Structure 1
């Protein structure tokens, strides 16, 4: 990895640990598909493991980022998958995780999965990583993985995409559109954080399945002390616990619905993984995308966790990832 271009890259080492943080400043010529320029043109990356190992990107939903594995004082968003002894092990792979654009306080709103892919490709250039061994992406990160593989087919050997497809489903766009309008309404009335809180509550309903809600919250009777139904208390707590800058939430939510990819352009060995109960990314869409990718395969997982199966079904998801990143070249 090259750190000689001081104007483009900075590195924070963590002595005694297997990871470092790298901030890559995007060049002045970097423009979004919309034609906008970023006011905070920087992509933030965390790397676990040796640069000599095969490079594997791990990327998740819009709330994920570079903190993919546990570190002292930090809980990784995919710690059950990435880390020592996990499916993506830093003893075997150079694990790369990154924060999606936009950064907090960013003015630009029209950011696409293509923009994410091109920013990431530039960062990999700076890091002198010509080709990825694998890109493992789930949810929005799976969309970015597909777009990266389509835009840069020679730069990734293997692709494992979970809970994502080649385009957003209209029913999912409808729900996200309501979420965005809730935030905009709340912002216009002086309570942007409250809007994000409510949008997150609505999102949580779509992330899980009716089967899980039935199992978890029955009998459906209100709490005698609060007069709230247990499922409503759960959603309220999830909304309060969530912290994302409103403009960033709006941008990333919109980016999901702007997503389009041409699967036939992908050359990587690809496994698409979907949950049968996922209402945001129906399994039919996952299958269709797999069939459109040359040599693409699809794995269906029976899970009560819906879209969040990639976070909850550790054994099945870990085995799927391992089958892709550990198998010998075809």
Structure 2
């Protein structure tokens, strides 16, 4: 584990207009930086995080002043084994910039942030955000650093949607693209699972349409949403290993029913733990942007050939990881992306990770990703070329 201490930094923009036409005044982006920019600012890597992740990807960050959601679970960077000197993303060579999403709850302006016009949390008045909004929001952060063109844009899971969309909207601003266990279209099954999570939060008696910051929090709904999603993150065989054998009585979320097996106890524990480190409104905003995602629609185009024309023109190189046991972003989704990239004449390396850990493999098994990631970032030629 890396013990390097890092801090969250903040940039306040003058304003930012989201896709639905609403303009936020003085929005703030929270971010962390690992490594140093070189003289011509050509060694930057933009890193997007997963749904419930944060901008804290490397080192130790023990707190963000005034942030109630920054629990001990977040202190260690979520990609510590991937980022650092000599690692997959080598900070002796590259400068990693990792922002927190617009709508987030870890320092970027979101529903729990005070509206400058009223001084009260935005709540229900915070707008819908799209994956395209996240790409444009990150581009504003790059402008602040004077970075015209990235060495690479990288994203796992939902972060992969953002990485791909950034490359599509700003093809001239990157050279390489890394998509880990992600996609470029949303499946019907996934949209239904995400809708179940939205319903869980919306129907919590404390949700109050999103205006709950002074009258209780929708913890039951958020916990249930997390439990629904957690089933897709962890392979079913891993539940056998993770669930403790004892059954913990549950009175807070259940009244008549009694927990009958350790797997129910495990899922309840995961749901309740999550409510301490995440905001329900933020969860809704990110799930909403994920549910409605379609790379063609984000770019206002109709065909994959049009979508990847900018990548072809700018000479992008893609690295796409699949996980064979992934129930969140199925391997078939990455295969479709790779097929359309190849048809468009884009250099792409597609690697399938064989794992029994499901979608969470990209967090838990660095040895299956780091060598390939390091080669892709440090070489222009493709393996076998």
TM-score computed with the length of structure 1 as normaliser: 0.86
Aligned residues: 311
Instruction: Give the drift of 1:163.
Output: 1.1
- Please list the CA deviations of residues 70-100 of structure 1 after superposition, one character each: whole Å capped at 9, or x if unmatched: 1253311211212344311322210111100
Query: Is the Cα–Cα contact under 8 Å of residues 291 and 297 in structure 1 kept in the other structure?
Result: no
Counterpart in the other structure of 1:205: 231
Provide the residue aligned with 1:9 in structure 2: none
Q: Does the 8 Å contact 1:159/1:324 carry over to 2?
A: no
Q: Which residue of 2 aligns with 1:301?
A: 353
Q: Once the two structures are superposed, what CA deviation does each residue of 1:33-53 show, in whole Å capped at 9, x if it has no partner?
A: 111223662221211111117
* RMSD between superposed Cα atoms in Å: 2.4
Whole-angstrom CA distance in 2 between matches of 1:130 and 1:309: 33
Query: Partners in 2 of 1:72 and 1:188 — Cα distance?
Result: 30
In the alignment, is residue 132 of structure 1 matched against residue 174 of structure 2? Answer: no
2:93 corresponds to 1:92? yes
Aligned twin of 1:41: 27
The structure 1 residue matched to 2:10, chosen from 15, 18, 23, is 23
2:264 counterpart residue number? 232
The change in CA–CA distance for 1:224 and 1:310 in structure 2 (over 3 A counts) is closer
Residues 49 and 55, structure 2, Cα contact 8 Å, conserved in 1: no
The equivalences for 1:40-79 within 5 A come to 41-52=27-38, 54-71=43-60, 73=62, 74-79=75-80
Q: Describe the SS at the equivalent of 1:137.
A: strand
Residue pair 1:62, 1:100 contacting (<8 A) in 2 also: no
The runs of 5 or more residues in structure 1 that have no matched partner are 1-16
Q: Which runs of 4+ in 1 moved over 6 A?
A: none
Distance 2:248 2:202 in 1: 34
Q: Any conservation in 2 of the 1:212–1:305 contact (CA below 8 Å)? A: yes
Quote how far apart the aligned CAs of 1:278 are. Answer: 1.2
Q: Relative to 1, partners in 2 of residues 1:34 and 1:271: Cα closer, same or farther, differing over 3 Å?
A: same
Structure 1 residues 313 and 224: CA distance shift in structure 2, 3 A: closer
Whether the 8 Å contact between 2:87 and 2:374 is mirrored in structure 1 is: no
> Within 2, Cα distance between the matches of 1:222 and 1:18?
37
Q: Secondary structure at the match of 1:166?
A: coil
